[in-house]
Structures are given as structure tokens and as C-alpha cells.
Amino acid sequence: MPEYTRFAVYYAPEPGPFADLCASWLGWDAARGMPAPHPQIAGLPRPVTEITATPRKYGFHGTLKPPFRLTGSRAALEQDLEALAARLCPAEMPGLTLARLGAFLALTPTGDTAPLAQLAAETVRALDIHRAPPSEAELERRRKARLSPAQDANLVRWGYPYVMGDFRFHLTLTGKLTPREATQTEVALRPLLTSLLPEPFRVDALCLFGEDHDGSFHLLHRYALSG
């Protein structure tokens, strides 16, 4: 069994045209564990390989439980993750929309996202026994982002600032862009995505991802939400 330096629990789309396009856009197919050729898209402000450099290694995903180092065995994590998925219900929203989040572009869900936030919070809580605490160097690096008091408390308690009340589900598509670059990228990318965005958008599985020694994440298993 391959060794992974960290694990995470993400949303990832089922195989199909939407998943294929987003993997190709980023240049990394986490489900296949291999690079994906970028699509040819006119009108981008920079080469797509530059625009997607930051999110590429993570693969196309929405974070539910952020990456963490294990305290115990992968088998124990998988057992608890399977049990968790068996008691949690899927979260459904009307769809996804292309949006700007600060300096980057992402897909965000439309409609009421409270059930999704509850799903993520329970995933963070239930699996936290498997998470090794962050090092002092990791804490210091995170705190350079000028965290709010609530975010700092999340960092100390859960190992990541943007969980619980600060959780905002999104599927990252780019690294940091200038406002002009963001506009140009959005105009170029939107026509490709429009016909493929899922309606409704359902988070119906917990996907276990592992980070390899090169820093790329792989989709290891999909656990259907059957509660």
C-alpha cells in the first residue's frame, strides 16, 4: 500500500464530463493519480499552467476535513470514515456558480448551504481523533494570514482556521489573480463550465484523499453517505 504524508476528506465529483473538465483545467487528475493535459482555452490572461499552479496538487475538490497527519493507522481512519458516512445524509443544493473569492476563482454552491456546513462540521469533529496536532512552525505559518480570534481558536482546536463558523465550501479553480486577470479568466472559463455544472449539486459521499511524497493528492476511496 503506498504511503501518504497527510490525509484529507473532500468532496469530489463522480466520474464524468464535469470531473474530466475540472481535472484537465487544473492539470492533475486525483482520481487517476496522474497529470491531465490542459484544455486549449482562448482569452486567458496567462498560460493556464500558471493560473492553476497553486491548486493543482490538491486536485479538483471541496474541503470537508482539511489535510492532516495521522496519529494512528490508515486502517483505523478508514474504518471510522466508513462508519461516519453510513450515518450521515447527503447535502443537496440547487447548483454551483462561478464566483470570485478574494483574489481567486472558485465554484460555490447556490441556495441554502447550512446542511453542507453541518456535514463538514460533523466530519471535522468525528475524525479529529485521527489528526496529529500542528507543529509550532505550522501554527506560526497559519497565523501570518492575520486570523480573527475565532479563526485562531479553530486553528488551536481543530488544526485549521477555516472550519465550523468560518467554513465556506468552495471548489478552487485558480491561484491568486489580479482583478483584471480574474475578469478575463472568468469570461474565458464560464462558457466551458455552464453546460456541465451539476443541477442539483449533491454532496453524497466522503472522499478520502492522500498526499504523496511529491505533494500531490490522490483520491483513495469514495464513501457513500447513506444515513
CATH number at residue 179: 3.90.1140.10
Average pLDDT, the chain: 96
Is residue 223 assigned to a domain? no
Task: Determine, yes or no, domain membership for 225.
Answer: no
In a domain, 1, yes or no: no
Residue 45 lies in a domain: yes
Q: Where are the alpha helices (DSSP H) in the chain?
A: 17-26, 48-51, 53-56, 74-87, 114-126, 136-143, 149-158, 179-194
Domain extent at residue 20: 6-218
Helix axis angle for 179-194 and 17-26, nearest 10°, is 150
Residue 60 is assigned to a structural domain of this protein: yes
Contacts of 5 (CB under 8 A, 6+ apart): 69, 211, 212, 213
Task: State percent of the chain over pLDDT 70.
Answer: 99
62-118: pLDDT as tens digits: 999 999 999 999 999 999 999 999 999 999 999 999 999 999 999 999 999 999 999
Whether 224 maps to a domain, the answer reads no
22: in domain = yes
Cα three-residue angle 175-40-51, rounded to 5 degrees: 10
Q: What is the reported pLDDT for 8?
A: 98
The model's pTM is 0.95
163 within some domain:
yes
With CA atoms as reference, report the closest residue to 204 among 222, 180, 184, 182: 222
- Total domains in the chain come to 1
Cis preceding-peptide flag for 45 (omega within 30 of 0): no
Q: What is the pLDDT of residue 94?
A: 98
> Cell triple for residue 220?
483513495
Taking the alpha carbons at both ends of the chain, their separation in whole angstroms is 30
Point out the residues of the chain with pLDDT beneath 70: 1
pLDDT (0 to 100) of residue 126: 98
